[in-house]
Structure 1
Amino acid sequence: MKLSPSVSIKQTQTGLEYIEVDSPLCDAKIFLQGAQLTQFTPKEQKPLIWVSEDEDYIAGKSVRGGIPICWPWFGVSENQDWPIHGVARTQVWRAEEVNEKDDYIEVSLSLPMLQVNKAYWPHETGLQVIFKLSKALSVSLKNTNLDKEEISFTQALHTYFPTPDIKTTQVDGLQGSQYIEFGEGPFDQNDIVNFARETDMVYNNAPLVQKIKTQDGTISVARENSTSCVLWNPWIDKAQRLSNFQDDEYNKMLCLEAANVKQDTVKLAPGESHTLTTIIKWES
């Protein structure tokens, strides 16, 4: 991969390589493991991405925070003992290309399918993620069916957002959709979402833009090629059971994830492609 003036390759003390972006537009970090973005901060603005202070960046383990890529299934597989959220987030991706322009930097990575255990995913598939970094962040996950048969999969861009206080945080823009939570539902979403308990809502027929309202400002979260999204906060009890997560950090984060799940499962005929995109920015 040919780098640009604002892009370099660095390594953590634990040996994980990451792409660092330090440009007039923004600062960012993208780990090769999982193609997982862990930092995005527009210049002269607050961070748009959250990572746990207890994260230890160990090979083979997804980072607690950032944007883990859940693929080719979201959540718990129907097959017992298969890894939660699929296989992509713990594999080392290949850095493909950096394209730096005056108004954005684009970084693309691909997942070498030879690394993927065929017991989990026997299909010939092209999988690429493209990060477009400016004052806003766009993340696009492109699947291409290179097989001779139809494939189907679920996926999510599992984005962790920061907030000064979850108890005063609201999510607007989900009204009119329905959600399933803890295996129950569907329920109608009629109001703005507030947080006062563990939240694990899987939405279908969701509007394409939501607003996360925090004391630091409002974050706009948009999706493309997705009618589903996931809203999550572990709250008090579950936070104490999570790895690489401080007991009180539930108060400083939430996840709002662009997804293709449930009725929104993707099916691709041979030769077809699908691109799931999330677009994140501070409201001016």
Structure 2
Amino acid sequence: MSQHLDALNHRFGVSGQVKFKPGPGGMDAVEVTNEHASATILLQGAHLIDWTPKGEKPVIWTSPEAKFAPGKSVRGGVPVCWPWFGPHPTYADFPAHGFARTVPWEPIAVKALPEGTWLAFRLIPTDATRTMWPHATELVLQMVIGKTLDLDLATWNRGNTSITIGDALHTYFAVGDVRFAKIHGLHMVEYLDKVDGGARKVQLGPVIIDREVDRIYLDTPDTCVIEDTRFARRIRISKQNSHSTVVWNPWLAKAAAMGDLGPDGYLHMVCVESANAADDVVTLAPGGEHHLWVRYQLEPI
């Protein structure tokens, strides 16, 4: 094990509960195991790639064919999209969904709690990130690993001028078979259909995945629920300070072209992303802060 990981274990490790170690592809990771759940988080992107409550199947899906390499996004888990969502509005060569998911973060605090394990990570700015985002901004992701998974993505404007951000927790949820799943909570909500050139439409009834779906649901502060009949469970997605919900599944043809989803990976995942995107970006005055908070919880059907 590297001296860097040894130092992290000395400072932040919790015996029998939190261990820093080489993860997939040799990437630095933290492994969490407590009486409620287990989880794995990569230090690149503070990217959670697994959360499995005790006695349950995994709730967070990471592709069996995901590629793990420095500076490259990982297919699955909970990628952090920040400080913009989708393509950059001005510079087409900037990375889609920002740079937060592909750069190093540092742990800043770890604590064992009765309800689980609390960890906090801070994005480490570099010359490359400052070129794309020349603002004095601090980004911290806090998470509690327990029977529920709580995530709090916090942005502070440390500068003297206002900034505008888009952000999202681009979560891949594991389902038994997406063709037999339904997403509740978006009935009568207007959305942008990116598969249909961004046309504005209105959702009627639950969202059914039976083709490529790529939608930004607008003005959606409420809870969504994934009803997964094949795994006989519901995944409840509660949130605060998120006014967009993105639903995405690439379906067969696009998944085959992506190269890291596997032959049938698209059948076993669906992204339901708590976001501030499109019409719902966030403007922060100097000294302002924004917390995108979510809680994921399993319920039996």
- TM-score interval, normalised by the smaller of the two chains: over 0.9
Q: What amino acid does structure 2 have at the position aligned with 1:221?
A: I
Deviations along 1:6-62, one digit per CA (max 9) or x if unpaired, are 100010363311110011111000110010000001111121100001013111111
The alignment partner of 1:241 has SS state of helix
Conserved in 1, the CA contact under 8 Å of 2:142 and 2:153? Answer: yes
- Structure 2 residue runs of 5 or longer lacking an equivalent are 1-10
Q: TM-score, normalised by structure 2?
A: 0.91
Matched, 1:197 2:208: no
The correspondence for 2:270, drawn from 254, 257, 267, is 254
Give the distance between the partners of 1:170 and 1:117, measured in 2 at CA: 38
Deviations along 1:185-205, one digit per CA (max 9) or x if unpaired, are 321112111111100010112
Relative to structure 2, which stretch is displaced further, 169-178 or 12-21? 12-21
Matched, 1:26 2:19: no
Relative to structure 2, which stretch is displaced further, 112-121 or 11-20? 112-121
- The alignment-based identity, stated in percent, is 35
Give the distance between the partners of 1:48 and 1:137, measured in 2 at CA: 10
Aligned twin of 1:122: 134
Give the distance between the partners of 1:33 and 1:164, measured in 2 at CA: 28
Matched ranges for 1:89-238 at <5 A: 89-114=101-126, 116-182=128-194, 183-214=197-228, 215-216=230-231, 217-238=233-254
Aligned twin of 1:15: 26
Aligned twin of 1:278: 294
Conserved in 2, the CA contact under 8 Å of 1:48 and 1:281? Answer: no
Structure with the larger helix share? 2
The alignment partner of 1:73 has SS state of coil
Give the distance between the partners of 2:244 and 2:104, measured in 1 at CA: 27
Aligned twin of 1:269: 285
Give the distance between the partners of 2:268 and 2:81, measured in 1 at CA: 22
Give the distance between the partners of 1:87 and 1:207, measured in 2 at CA: 25
Q: What amino acid does structure 1 have at the position aligned with 2:257?
A: R
Give the distance between the partners of 2:109 and 2:13, measured in 1 at CA: 8
Give the distance between the partners of 1:244 and 1:80, measured in 2 at CA: 23
Give the distance between the partners of 1:202 and 1:148, measured in 2 at CA: 32
Deviations along 1:229-270, one digit per CA (max 9) or x if unpaired, are 100000011001113111321111110001011221010000
Relative to structure 2, which stretch is displaced further, 156-165 or 96-105? 96-105
* Residues 67, 141 of structure 1: alpha-carbon distance in 2 compared, 3 angstrom cutoff: same
Q: TM-score, normalised by structure 1?
A: 0.97
Relative to structure 2, which stretch is displaced further, 167-176 or 10-19? 10-19
Equivalent residues, number: 284
Deviations along 1:150-179, one digit per CA (max 9) or x if unpaired, are 000111100000111111111011113110
Aligned twin of 1:239: 255
Aligned twin of 2:5: none
